[in-house]
Amino acid sequence: MSAKAAAPVATGYSGTPLAKKLGIGEGTRVTLLHAPAELRDWLAPLPRGVVFDDRPGTHSDVVHLFAVRLADLQAELAALRAALRPDAALWVSWPKRAAKVATDITEDRIRDAALPLGFVDVKVCAVSAVWSGLKLVLRKALR
């Protein structure tokens, strides 16, 4: 990942801890893809029983994908659509424009890539000073 990690928006603008904003509760199985090394620190303190997995699959409750290139994002979204169970949450994070990180991803481009696969966006949040996150779920008719 070429995006330089930055100090987190510790509890976000809302004062809500990042883990809670991302829907990581007690016993959640989380898969991180291309995440900054500091992400686990940003998520602290974690609820009891949270488990991190290296690969996404039907065991994943929450997947958090970080991307800086649209082509990579499109390929990852297609693979995740096939791998995840219908009720899993998928967060896609991309560099904020203000972070001055080279990227061709925007919130609208994420939607353009995700909607044809059956995903809909339901939430957006600040993940850190560099990263924004868009939460995707399968549309109700596909769950």
Q: Is 23 exposed, middle or buried (0-12, 13-18, 19+ CB in 10 A)?
A: middle
Q: Positive or negative, the Cα torsion across 17, 88, 105, 3?
A: positive
Q: Is the pLDDT of residue 6 over 70?
A: no
pLDDT at 120: 98
Position 14 scores a pLDDT of 62
Compute the average pLDDT of residues 43-71. Answer: 96
- Is the pLDDT confidence value at 13 over 90? no
Residue 58 has pLDDT above 50, yes or no: yes
Provide the whole-model pTM.
0.90
Quick one: pLDDT band at residue 62, thresholds 50, 70, 90? Answer: very high
**119 SS3 class:** strand
Domains of the chain: 18-142 (3.40.50.150)
pLDDT digits (tens, 9 = 90+) for 68-113: 999 999 999 999 999 999 999 999 999 999 999 999 999 999 999 9
Report the share of the chain in percent with pLDDT over 70: 90
Largest alpha-carbon pair distance within the chain? 39
